[in-house]
Amino acid sequence: MSNGNYIRLGLEFLVNKIQQQQQQSLTATMVQPVTANSSDEAPEDEDDFFTLMSQDTSSATTDNILSMYTGNTSTSLDDLHDYPLLKNIFLELNTALPASAACERLFSVA
């Protein structure tokens, strides 16, 4: 396989994962119960407004999310905070499994 095919397959995989994350977040917001806050209560965190604005990327299209992230020239992982869907996928795919079975199989074969 050529590098172009690997890149195409990787992008297709990311598109599918982003769409799955969007579906999961959509169903989670539909299922959450609505709590009534009285108008007398002050919000616990004044940054709630800005937090909601930063989470608006979940409604963006998959192609838009990928093009914004890949167009970013920064090499820092801190930029993932701006893309919560990609951050969740990154954490899911880059978290080590807490099992030693793979290592044990490797030593058994050796």
Q: Where are the domains of the chain?
A: 1-26
pLDDT in tens, 13-52: 988 998 888 888 778 777 656 555 544 554 555 555 555 4
What's the predicted TM-score (pTM) here?
0.54
Distance in angstroms (rounded) separating the CA atoms of residues 3 and 10: 10
Contacts of 60 (CB under 8 A, 6+ apart): 68
Q: What percent of the chain has pLDDT over 70?
A: 73
Distance in angstroms (rounded) separating the CA atoms of residues 20 and 59: 13
Taking a C-beta distance cutoff of 8 angstroms, is the pair 83, 68 a contact? yes
Give the pLDDT confidence score for residue 58 in this predicted structure.
44
Instruction: Say whether pLDDT at 75 is over 70.
Output: yes
